[in-house]
């Protein structure tokens, strides 16, 4: 009898969490993402709003790195080749591309000659720096965080980008968290 009650309580608690989470996800007004067809996520209008993206340089524990207008670290993906993004679908949910709808603005310390754009699958423009498409990391929630540094996933390594446009590899491959095979940029 005691085991049946325990199983019932666990099932009820799980159902309550699912219902609460579903209720919280009903509006995209406060979310960075809007939900599309099953299993997909699309950037909400806040990330693709009219206007040009601004890229700057900030000091970090890894040195001077490229950041977005909110001071969030921008990353390069080792699988990207020839200035083209290899990250879409679920990958872009965890590593949102830095999008722009106008000419990219160079902030403090940025070499404007290294800024550019590349077209994504849906025709949106993604910002590049030294031909590296740029991404934020979903778990970097505050300016200055580098939680994605050295991670491997979706078939490649993720590293912040230096002011010179090179990957900053502060963490060795052996100490980096891994959820896929990778090779350095």
Q: Which of 104, 72, 90 is nearest to 33 (CA)?
A: 90
CB contact at 8 A, 128 and 117: yes
CB-count burial class (<10 Å; 0-12, 13-18, 19+) for 151: buried
Q: Each residue of 42-101: pLDDT tens digit?
A: 333 334 345 899 999 999 999 999 999 999 999 999 999 999 999 999 999 999 999 999
Token representation of residue 11: 């099932």
Average pLDDT across the chain, whole number: 76
What pLDDT is attached to residue 122?
84
173 pLDDT band, cuts 50/70/90, is low
pLDDT value of residue 46: 32
Question: Given a cut of 90, is residue 138 above it in pLDDT?
Answer: yes
pLDDT (tens digit per residue) in 148-163 = 999 999 999 999 999 9
pLDDT band for position 33 (cuts 50, 70, 90): very low
State residue 51's pLDDT score: 80
């Amino acid at each position: 009898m005691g085991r049946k009650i325990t199983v019932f309580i666990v099932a009820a608690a799980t159902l309550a969490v699912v219902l609460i989470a579903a209720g919280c996800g009903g509006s995209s007004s406060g979310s960075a993402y809007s939900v599309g067809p099953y299993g997909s996520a699309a950037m909400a209008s806040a990330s693709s709003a009219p206007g040009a993206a601004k890229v700057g340089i900030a000091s970090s524990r890894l040195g001077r790195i490229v950041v977005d207008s909110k001071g969030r670290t921008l990353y390069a993906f080792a699988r990207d080749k020839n200035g083209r993004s290899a990250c879409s679908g679920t990958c872009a949910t965890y590593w949102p591309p830095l999008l722009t709808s106008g000419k990219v603005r160079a902030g403090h310390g940025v070499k404007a000659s290294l800024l550019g754009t590349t077209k994504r699958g849906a025709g949106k423009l993604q910002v590049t720096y030294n031909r590296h498409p740029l991404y934020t990391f979903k778990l970097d929630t505050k300016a200055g965080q580098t939680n994605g540094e050295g991670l491997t996933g979706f078939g490649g390594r993720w590293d912040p980008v230096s002011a010179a446009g090179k990957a900053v590899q502060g963490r060795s491959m052996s100490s980096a968290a891994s959820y896929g095979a990778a090779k350095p940029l």
